[in-house]
Amino acid sequence: MRLEIDGWSSKITFSATHIIPGHFKCGRLHGHDYAINASIEGSIGPEGVIMDFISVKEFLRKVAAELDHKVLIPLRDEAVKEEGGSVRYTPSGKIYMFPSEDCALLDVGVASAEELARFVLQRVREKVHFPDNVKRVEIGVDEGEGQGAWIGCDL
């Protein structure tokens, strides 16, 4: 059995800006509205539910708040340098400078929906306690409504 959390209707959303280096259109600084979705698979526990998913929703809202109204910076990209309270980002030879406080510095290679989903899944695995009857969790990050990237892992 499966629980689903829809980020749009649960208001687990954020707005942010990013760059996809080398892409003909997304290589320019631009923004999206994002939603974080989740799916939790497992058997029904002794209390008649898979798990109380309020804790998952609250955690996902916290992650969304960390990313909201930020510039999403992929720290694993060699074109990123932090210097004196600023982030210097030079993808494809362009030069961007952002105040560090305006950025979400993410342990990803590209600030794509795919990598964001992986980042959120990693945070969820680190911080959310799942009962033993939960066997799999999946995270989807929508970049605008109706399109997103999903990743999952067995617990």
- The residues annotated as belonging to the active site are 26, 69, 143
The answer to whether 29 contacts Zn ion (rule: CB under 5 A) is: no
- Which of 149, 153, 140 lies closest to 8, judged by CA? 140
Where does this chain touch Zn ion (CB under 5 A) — which range of 26-34, 42-50, 71-79, 97-105? 26-34
CB-count exposure of residue 7 (10 Å: 0-12, 13-18, 19+): buried
For the CB of residue 91, give the shortest distance to Zn ion in the complex, in Å.
13
Which of 3, 8, 17, 26 binds Zn ion (CB under 5 A)? It is: 26
Beta-sheet strands, E only, within 12-126: 13-18, 30-42, 70-74, 80-83, 86-89, 96-99, 103-106
For the CB of residue 94, give the shortest distance to Zn ion in the complex, in Å.
15
For the CB of residue 64, give the shortest distance to Zn ion in the complex, in Å.
17
Kindly list the residues in this chain that would bind Zn ion in the complex (CB under 5 A). 26
